[in-house]
Structure 1
Amino acid sequence: MSLPATTTPTTEVLIAGAGPTGLVLACDLARRGIACRVVERESRGFPGSRGSGLQPRSLEVFDDLGVIDAIRVAGGPIQRLQSWAGTTRVAEWDTFERAEPSPHVPYGEIWMLPQWRTVEILHARLEELGGSVEFGCELSGFEQDADGVTARLRGPDGTGSAVRAAFLVAADGGRSTVRKALGVGFPVTDLVTDPTLIADVLIGGVDRAHWHVWPTAPGGRVALRPLEGSDSFQLLAHFGGAGPDFTPDATPEALQQLLVERTGHAEVRVHEVGWSSVLRIKAGVADRFRIGRVLLAGDAAHIHSPTGGQGLNTSIQDAYNLGWKLGAALRGASDALLDSYEAERRPVAQHVLALTTQVFEQDRVDKDRGFSQRGGETFQLGLGYREGPLTRECREGLADDAMRAGDRAPDAPCGPIRLFDLFRGPHATLLAFGGTDAPASERYKLVRVGRPGEQGDVIDVDGHAHKAYAARGLFLVRPDGYVALATEDPADLASYEVY
């Protein structure tokens, strides 16, 4: 039975959805001491491999959240792609750029890990931080007012309850119940009307050293990628000409027949289908990411073609951008700070949507290989907020390729410690170079960066930090690792009061 209004439980943030978006946000809030509840309508965590490519920028987020070691152990580098024409090998190549770690970029290339395992790792981290997920609990409705949101929940046994929250975050996927209830426009483009089957399958007769693709297979392209930490493969099968209403048969028998017919490899054996779903490839961005005390994140705010591995990673960045802003808003920061979430993330979503659509079209043109090569622009390291409302670049005469306010704050080794070690945690960081005066403050952690022979909190032994930033100046690095303010005048710091 529903709780009477006088006994409605309260929380600071209610998160609808326990996928990577909701879990990253919950972990970030938990380490800030923000009370939150995470409700997930499914009875368990996401079971499939769907979003399996983690870009370098997302790996940096996971470093900050304390899960990078688990991610690295569980996953692996992307396999070389092997294209086939029936039983004939056609070509072998790297579909993503390979890059070694550098002083400024500690994670050089994409890291592969099935989405279900990423979810498990984030869930375990949330529990370490004192949080939990309420599985089988569905958000059935809500109302908001000037002071908060009253949400109606339905538990696994159908019992109703209510919760009062200061903010509600919709991380409930592309069919978001919350977004629809808000009436937010979500114009969507159908990139392909025919369905694509994605499934995690236990297969015999296929080598695990490559990501295999049959780009010109009869009936539609087929791809098989071995999954990390598992004996299974991720199967992608496009059904060209099948029409939007066709639902593929995902039984082991049907998939074995499909693979034999499309690849010509009669020795292939499908033993088990662990999970399957049908993709209808669409792209779209919500008209708004915030309505009052309700915010949209992840697929609830934008959906992309899966090509290029951008959708999951963009969603992780949404949560990372939003977490520190919600924390500050709940502790008295200006409402303008929370408004900056939409102002910063919606243009990024639009940019990424254009990129994924471009890559998708390149894949369609490259019929011989099935996948075009993805460049470093997919790593998400170059995304930033130079034009955002929180950004202040006060220096003049910068070189065209200079790091600017709004950019991702680069890493650099300073003796035995790295800048990312200093950034790690829920705080902002002020980097002071060249002896520039910088007052201590509760708003940030002050770190004076010196050269060898100079005084400093850390010493830039090899000059990498000075090369990345500047010979002198002050750089206020936001809690999400972007440079908010860059200046040589401490007075600019005193007047910067956004958070």
Structure 2
Amino acid sequence: MTNVLVVGAGPTGLTLAVDLARRGVSCRVIDKEVTFPAGSRGRGMQPRTQEVFDDLGLIEAVHAHGSVYPPIRAYQGGEVVWEGTMSEYVEPSADVPYPNPWMIPQWRTAQLLRDRLAEFGGAVETGTELVGFEQDEDGVAATLRRDGVNERVRVAYLVGADGGKGPTRRMLGVPFDGETRDDIRMLIADVRVEGLDRDHWHLWREPMIGLCPLGGTDSFQLTIADPDRELSTIEQLAAYFAERTGRTDLGLSGLTWLTVWRPNVRMTSRFQVGRVFLAGDAAHVHPPSGGQGMNTGVQDAYNLGWKLAAVLRGAPEVLLDSYEQERLPVAAHVLGLSERLLARRTMHRGHEERQLGITYQDGPLAVDDRPSPGSVVAGDRAPDGPCGDGRRLFDVFRGPHATVLAFGAECEGAVRVTDPEAFRIYDVEPGTLVLVRPDGYIGVITRDAGRLGSTGWYSRDAAMVS
């Protein structure tokens, strides 16, 4: 029997599939589309998501096929009237190796994940639609349709990563509360541009029109705020652009993707119903302000993958309850952040959007029994840093395992950390043990090795042996 059926092959579903595949969990990934979607869509990969891709073995490919965000150049016609940046550049540090957002088209992100899944022997089943399911205490019976033919499959768990309009949430009967803003429209298209440098993000106001070079491609992402007419062909786009900007010297061509969106701000109150889970846009839909939607979905998958694998290997099933307990508050907070950025209509981005400060310290899997916890506590992201033996902590974490760090102490199965910089970063005293979850968050901070298994999911066999 297949263990997990993943419905939807966007970045969320693919991240989950890769994470399950590297853990040896049998998984099917289906998508109703016959061809893989094009389009830059969510082009911004936040620092925390880059750390996820580091763990999945994809960070080099991500950096090879994208770019930093270029500086912004604003025009009045052909005259430059302002120059600046979307966010302050931050130098990499010992604890944060990827501190800046990275620009990579969403179609490329999905392609890299599919390639990684193929390395584990997996593939997306395109043209395959979920048309129904029933669940009981032992599993989920799902009906799939491909080429007009139905197939009945039974799986242990089903994950709906099929977007805001996908069938999984609807079949669960879970409401999707929120609103669609009809007062705001944005046209987004991927085009080629002749006569414009690729070193800047070019903007014109009234109406707001932007051309942003997409790293790793020869295209620009064109954005037009509230267009006053239908624009569906490259000829119409080129004429409108020249009319509104006065830049008749630029040539637009090579339209490969176009969409018009209205901001959706919606979220479900349930991320899990029995053996069926919702992740990504199926659970929460964000406006694109701040570049939070795709990144939040990826981290939903990253949170859920190791828990599904652990339960399938015998961990208590109650571990799966922590998915909703941890991710629902995060999604609600990020959704509020996206709304605030949309309301401000500002291009500037701060540190909160980078998602490095997301914490589960109030969740059910965080145990910190120190009388006086330091600045890093259980539930926080586990920072990078030097071990003291020539390795970095992210090198130690990389892979599907949990990791016990023993700071200046000996503990069977633990990685001994001796570098003073790591002590400073983690703000711990000698003799402290830190259990890092498979998703790179701190589960337990203690001086008692017997407390490492106190949340019920950890066993020494699941940890890395140094």
Q: Same fold (TM over 0.5)?
A: yes
User: What is the distance in 1 between the residues matched to 2:449 and 2:6?
Assistant: 39
1:335 corresponding residue in structure 2:
317
Partner of 2:275: 293
Indicate yes or no: 2:55 matched with 1:48.
no
**1:447 and 2:415 correspond:** yes
Q: Give the partner amino acid of 1:237.
A: I
| 1:259–1:268 Cα contact (<8 Å) kept | no
What's the CA shift string for 1:163-200, capped at 9, x where partnerless? 11111100101112100111111112234534211111
- Match for residue 59 of structure 1? 50
The residue that corresponds to 1:256 in the other structure is 238
Distance in 2, matches of 1:412 and 1:374, equals 26
Residue in 2 aligned with 1:491? Answer: 450
Greater CA drift, 141-150 or 283-292 = 141-150
The Cα of 1:494 is off from its aligned counterpart by 4.9
| RMSD between aligned residues | 1.5
Q: For 1:67 and 1:164, how far apart are their aligned partners in 2?
A: 31
- Give the deviation of 1:45 after TM superposition: 2.0
Is 1:418 matched up with 2:376?
A: no
Aligned ranges for residues 203-214 of structure 1 at < 5 Å? Answer: 203-214=193-204
State the Cα distance separating 1:85 from its structure 2 match: 2.4
Whole-angstrom distance in 1 between the partners of 2:455 and 2:40: 44
Partners of 1:296 and 1:215 in 2: how far apart? 39
Listed one character per residue, the Cα deviations across residues 320-360 of structure 1 (whole Å, up to 9, x for unaligned) are: 00000010111122122101000000100011011111111
Q: Give, in whole Å, the separation in 2 of the partners of 1:36 and 1:494.
A: 28
Which among 160, 164, 176 is matched to residue 170 of structure 1? 160
Is 1:357 the counterpart of 2:339 in the alignment? yes
Q: Equivalent of 1:270, from 240, 252, 263? A: 252
Counterpart AA for 1:422: V
> 2: CA distance between counterparts of 1:407 and 1:350?
18
Mark the runs of 5 or more structure 2 residues left unpaired by the alignment. 459-466
Q: Which amino acid in structure 2 is aligned with residue 471 of structure 1?
A: E
Aligned to 1:408: 381
* 1:487 shift after superposition: 1.2
Check whether the contact 1:304–1:310 (CA below 8 A) recurs between aligned residues. Answer: yes
Identity of aligned residues (%): 51
- Pick the aligned partner of 1:199 from 176, 189, 197: 189
Cα distance change on mapping 1:259 and 1:39 into 2, 3 Å: same
Contact 1:250 1:273 in 2 (8 A): no
Match of 2:354 in 1: 379
Map of 1:125 onto structure 2:
116
Q: Distance in 1 between matches of 2:148 and 2:252?
A: 38
1:264 to 1:494, Cα distance in 2 relative to 1, 3 A: closer
Match runs of 1:90-239 below 5 Å: 90-155=81-146, 157-217=147-207, 221-239=208-226
CA displacement at 1:493 relative to structure 2: 2.4
- CA shift, 1:44, in A, is 2.2
The size of the alignment, in residue pairs, is: 455
Q: Does structure 1 conserve the Cα–Cα contact (< 8 Å) formed by 2:310 and 2:457?
A: no
The farther-off stretch of 371-380 and 34-43 is 371-380
1:266 aligned partner, one-letter code: T
Query: Do the aligned residues in 1 keep the contact of 2:272 with 2:278 (CA within 8 Å)?
Result: yes
Q: Distance in 1 between matches of 2:448 and 2:14?
A: 39
Query: 2:421 aligned to 431, 441, 464, which one?
Result: 464
Match of 1:368 in 2: none
One-letter code aligned to 1:283: V
Whole-Å Cα distance in 1 between the matches of residues 395 and 382 of structure 2? 13
Letter paired with 1:301: A
- Mapped pair 1:395 → 2:341: no
Alignment-mate amino acid for residue 161 of structure 2: A
Deviations 1:54-105 (A, max 9, x none): 1111111001001111111111111111122233212111102211110001
Q: TM-score scaled by structure 2?
A: 0.95
Query: Contact between 2:316 and 2:456, CA under 8 Å: does it hold in 1?
Result: no
Distance in structure 2 (CA, Å) of the matches to 1:385 and 1:398: 15
Match of 2:176, SS state, is coil
In structure 1, stretches of 5+ residues that fail to align are 1-9, 364-370, 441-445, 451-459
Q: Bigger shift: 188-197 or 208-217?
A: 188-197
CA distance in 1 between counterparts of 2:332 and 2:160 reads 19
Q: Secondary structure at the match of 1:467?
A: helix
Matched, 1:68 2:59: yes
Aligned residue number for residue 433 of structure 1: 407
Contact between 2:365 and 2:455, CA under 8 Å: does it hold in 1? no
1:297 CA displacement: 0.4
Partner AA of 2:422 in structure 1: A
Question: What letter is aligned with 1:480?
Answer: D
Give the Cα–Cα distance (whole angstroms) in 1 for the partners of residues 272 and 100 of structure 2.
33
Check the 8 A contact 1:340/1:390 in 2, yes or no. yes
TM (norm. structure 1) is: 0.88
Equivalents in 2 of 1:407, 1:168: separation in Å? 28
Q: Equivalent of 1:316, from 298, 302, 307?
A: 298
